Structure 1
Amino acid sequence: MFTGIIETTGEVIDITAEGTNLTFTLKAPIAPELKVDQSLSHNGVCLTVTSVNGETYTVTAVDETLKKTNLGRVKTGDRVNLERCMPANGRFDGHIVQGHVDQTGVVTSIVDQNGSWLFDFQYNPVSDNPAESNITVEKGSICINGVSLTVFNSEPDSFRVTIIPYTYEHTTFRDLKVGDVVNLEFDVVGKYIKKMLGLYR
Structure 2
Amino acid sequence: MFTGIITAIGQIKSAQTKGDGLHLIIEVPSGYLDDVALGDSIAIQGACMTATQFDGNTFALDISRESLNKTVGLDKVGPVNLEKALRLNDRLGGHLVSGHVDGVGEVAHFAPVAQDSYGSWLLRIEAPKELAPFLAYKGSIVVNGVSLTVNKTEESANACIVDINLIPHTLQSTTLGNLKQGDAVNLEVDLIARYVARMLETQAK
1:26 corresponds to: 26
1:129 corresponds to: none
2:128 corresponds to: 124
Aligned counterparts, 1:34-183, within 5 A:
34-72=36-74, 74-76=75-77, 78-113=78-113, 114=117, 115-126=119-130, 135-156=134-155, 157-183=160-186
Q: Is the 8 A contact 1:125 1:135 kept in 2?
A: no
Cα distance in 2 for residues equivalent to 1:171 and 1:33: 21
How far residue 75 of structure 1 moved from its aligned partner, in angstroms, is: 2.1
RMSD: 1.4
Return 5+ residue gaps in structure 2 as ranges: none
User: Does structure 1 residue 185 correspond to structure 2 residue 184?
Assistant: no
SS at match of 2:67: helix
How far residue 135 of structure 1 moved from its aligned partner, in angstroms, is: 2.8
Cα distance in 2 for residues equivalent to 1:98 and 1:141: 13
Shift of the 158–62 alpha-carbon distance from structure 1 to 2, 3 Å rule, reads same
Aligned counterparts, 1:8-19, within 5 A:
8-19=8-19
Cα distance in 1 for residues equivalent to 2:192 and 2:90: 20
Q: Which contiguous aligned blocks of 4+ residues in structure 1 show a shift greater than 3 angstroms?
A: none
Cα distance in 2 for residues equivalent to 1:188 and 1:182: 18
Cα distance in 1 for residues equivalent to 2:20 and 2:35: 29
SS at match of 1:149: strand
SS at match of 1:194: helix
Identity %: 36
How far residue 172 of structure 1 moved from its aligned partner, in angstroms, is: 0.4
SS at match of 1:12: strand
State the AA in 2 paired with 1:75: K
How far residue 32 of structure 1 moved from its aligned partner, in angstroms, is: 4.5
Return 5+ residue gaps in structure 1 as ranges: 127-131
